[in-house]
Amino acid sequence: MSTKNQILLHETLLPVKATTASISCFASTLIAIMIVRSRNGLKSPYSRIIFGLSIADIIQSASIITSPFAAPNDTLDAPWAKGTIGTCEVAGFFLQVGGTAVPFYTLFLSYYFLKRVKDKITPQAFASKYEFKIYVLIWIFPIIGGFVALAR
């Protein structure tokens, strides 16, 4: 595929990426609001995991939406570029944080149900034994990775 065809394909897919990311961001925002406004709110590990997953997806989706505009305006193959190197780095940081946290939260949700089904652990026991440590790992790892990328 020639460079011209690659640029054309990239330009064609930009609206598709922005649209799907917008839908994802909107849906995750609704989920987060519904959890916070529900009668039980963030009282169970399950609702906290889904809430965290929604927040991570909002970060990732918002970064996907803004990244085409955040690229420096003199970038040749970025037709929507309006930003600077700084805005591009900020968008990349948040894309890295959200893009790393989303699969971690998915893994966390699977681990939660594994412990509930296999080991018959109660939500309260799971919360006291595992939850905080996993949240720290989920957020520290991508944030440190993002800062390392920014430093390079």
In which band, very low, low, confident or very high, does the pLDDT at 102 lie, cut at 50, 70 and 90?
very high
CA dihedral 20, 49, 39, 25 (to 10 degrees): -10
Q: How confident is the model at residue 80 (pLDDT cuts 50, 70, 90)?
A: confident
Q: 109, exposed or middle or buried, with CB in 10 Å at 0-12, 13-18, 19+?
A: middle
Per the listing, tokens 């946290």 go with 101
Q: Is the dihedral of CA 100, 101, 104, 105 positive or negative?
A: negative
Q: Structure pTM?
A: 0.87
